[in-house]
Amino acid sequence: MTGPLALTLALSLGASNQATPTPAPIEASLTVKAGEPSVKINKNIYGHFAEHLGRLIYEGIWVGEDSKIPNTRGIRNDVVAALKNLKVPVLRWPGGCFADEYHWKNGIGPRAERPGIYNTHWGGVVENNHFGTHEFMDLVEQIGTEAYVSGNVGSGTVQEMQEWVEYMTSPATSPMANLRRRNGREEPWKVPYFAVGNETWGCGGNMRAEYYADLFLQYGTFVKNYRGNTVQKIASGSSDENYRWTDVLMNAAAKRMQGLSLHYYTLPTGNWQKKGSATEFDEDAWHATLKRALRMDEFITKHSAVMDKYDPEKKVGLVVDEWGTWYDVEPGTNPGFLYQQSTIRDAITAALTLNIFHRHADRVTMANLAQTINVLQAVILTDKEKMILTPTYHVFEMFKVHQDARLVPTELTTPDYRRGDAAVPAVSSSASIDATGKLHISLVNLDAAKPARISVALSGHAAKTITGRVLTAPSINSHNTFEKPDVVKPASFTTFSRTPQGLSVELPARSVVVLALEP
């Protein structure tokens, strides 16, 4: 047997099958100039996104105070512990498309009196509003993260948005701050990031760029900084290659925004009608998915170039507040719930994307993976009281060492990994140095079948001790399930050795490695 089927079968048999010979490694080289650190990698690049969608908020986070699932004030403890361990720097809420039909006053006050509403975007279910502003802020405090709140431009008023910001952040004696106090919260919360609308070119109002630019200026004027809180205003930006949208927004309003958003999702097929399965795929689909994920680099580069025209000093951040893989939903689940499994392929796409964000750290100031729990490229899946961590979770956990570290210049020479006429670089990398002088190098081997040998030339660092962690899997579609939660998890990495120039590192096929070098 030859061809893709044979390879898929061989990969499924896994590394333990002694009969399958290991292919010769591909050879790559990497220069790491640790003595020349540049821009800081904003920790917010490791942000997450939680929308009122499917089983994310209800079950994934909120189980209610009377639930048998261990919780603190209704918020499940296992999920909070897992997110704390990730050092989630910022959490975006309540949408997404949901944000532009969310009326925040429905989600405050005694829960029994909150009105149920119809979630028109996601699954046609009743949203009982039991998880509202106070519950979200409690979650933020329990995780130890920062709030990124999305305001309603599509179906809300300027007054409604102004009052929400006042409710959350005003320390004064004022109508909304007093309402907050009557609902049990004396002190204002911090809201450092506030989005003025979401996907206003689509579900957020189907607007023209010029029209939204005016609305951004109008609504944004009333998003106030109350004493003790400074809000960064994020304008609703484009998706994919809509560079005109970025141009219009920057031209009209660059001086009034701190961030402009960008959304990009990776579909294996590129076809929204038939996106592809999360778990049943061959090496061609593996390759196509990674190739599409890598387009993030092109989009950031080109949107940044447009932003440079109006903001050469890069004061406005590019905020990639929705990104990740998007597959056909798991068979038998509500199509509106966007529930999908997550394999080692997702771990590889996450690592590739984070490496891209690092390299664009001068412009990308925040990114939010879609979405935290039970939706799209989730880091956590739950089934009632059970909880598992996905391969993507493990990448975020391994890469958290890059948060707020300074980017180190690297030069990578890698062969292509090819399928037919399509090619992607076989290896991806990035490096950073933290405040203690510790150097971290992130390496990804995209090749589904071949190991990669990388010769690293290191300068400007003592590398007194070197340790590593690796994430790989027996097959290209390996994933964790509630029955087998540890099929894909990080392990200690030892296949490296010192050389006169630095290091020789051998990555397994389809793997992510993070090396830690002590000063």
Residue of 322, 411, 506, 518 with catalytic role: 322
Residue 322 bears catalytic tag = yes
Give long-range contacts, CB 8 A cutoff, 24+ apart: 280-284.
280/477, 281/345, 281/476, 281/477, 282/4, 282/5, 282/8, 283/4, 283/7, 283/8, 283/11, 283/419, 283/448, 283/449, 283/476, 284/4, 284/419, 284/420
DSSP lists the bridge partners of residue 388 as 381
Q: How many CB atoms lie within 10 A of CB 229?
A: 17
Q: Which two tokens stand for residue 74?
A: 């209704």
Which one, 69 or 117, has the nearer CB to ligand AHR?
117
Give the length of the chain: 519
* 457 contacts 513 by C-beta, under 8 angstroms: no
| Burial degree of 333 (CB within 10 A; 0-12, 13-18, 19+) | middle
Q: Which stretch binds ligand AHR (CB under 6 A): 89-97, 109-117, 184-192, 251-259?
A: 89-97
Residue 18, judged by CB atoms within 10 A of its CB (0-12, 13-18, 19+), counts as exposed
CB closer to ligand AHR out of 265 and 417? 265
Residue number with CB closer to ligand AHR (49 or 417): 49
CA–CA distance, 165 with 157 (Å, rounded to integer)? 13
Contacts of 57 (CB under 8 A, 6+ apart): 50, 51, 94, 131
| Interface pick for ligand AHR out of 37, 45, 51, 505 (rule CB under 6 A) | 51
Residue numbers 178-217 binding ligand AHR by CB under 6 A: 198-199
Residues 212-271 that bind ligand AHR (CB under 6 A): none
What's 24's DSSP letter? P
Total residues at interface with ligand AHR (CB under 6 A): 10
Q: Alpha-carbon distance 466 to 474, whole Å?
A: 26
95 binds ligand AHR (CB under 6 A): yes
Is 370 a residue that touches ligand AHR (CB under 6 A)? Answer: yes
Burial of 60 (0-12, 13-18, 19+ CB in 10 A): buried
Residue 387: DSSP 8-state: E
Write the single-letter amino acid at 370. Answer: A
Binding of residue 54 to ligand AHR (CB under 6 A): no
Q: How far is the CB of 138 from ligand AHR (least distance, A)?
A: 23
State in angstroms the smallest separation of the CB of 51 from ligand AHR. 5
Judged by CB under 6 A, does residue 97 bind ligand AHR? yes
**Pick 51 or 434: Cβ nearer ligand AHR:** 51
Q: Which two tokens stand for residue 155?
A: 């179906």
The minimum distance between CB 57 and ligand AHR, in angstroms, equals 13
- Least distance (Å) from ligand AHR to the CB of residue 66? 30
| For ligand AHR, the closer CB: 127 or 322 | 322
323 φ/ψ angles, rounded to the nearest 5 degrees: -155, 160
Q: Do residues 395 and 402 make contact, with C-beta atoms less than 8 angstroms apart?
A: no
Q: Any contact of residue 96 with ligand AHR (CB under 6 A)?
A: yes
**Residue number, nearest CB to ligand AHR:** 96
Q: Which stretch binds ligand AHR (CB under 6 A): 37-45, 94-102, 151-159, 300-308?
A: 94-102
- Based on CB atoms, which residue is closest to ligand AHR, 262 or 407? 262
Q: How far is the CB of 152 from ligand AHR (least distance, A)?
A: 13
Which amino acid is present at 454? I
CB closer to ligand AHR out of 104 and 323: 323
Asked about 241 being catalytic, the answer comes back as: no
Residue 196 C-beta: closest distance to ligand AHR, Å:
14
Active-site entry in 199, 280, 283, 330: 199
Work out which of 282, 322, 397, 434 binds ligand AHR, going by CB under 6 A.
Answer: 322
Is the CB of 32 or the CB of 234 nearer to ligand AHR? 234
**Minimal distance in Å, beta carbon 323 to ligand AHR?**
10
Smallest gap from Cβ 375 to ligand AHR, in A, equals 7
Instruction: Give residues in contact with ligand AHR (CB under 6 A).
Output: 51, 95-97, 198-199, 322, 370-371, 376
* Residues recognised as catalytic: 199, 322
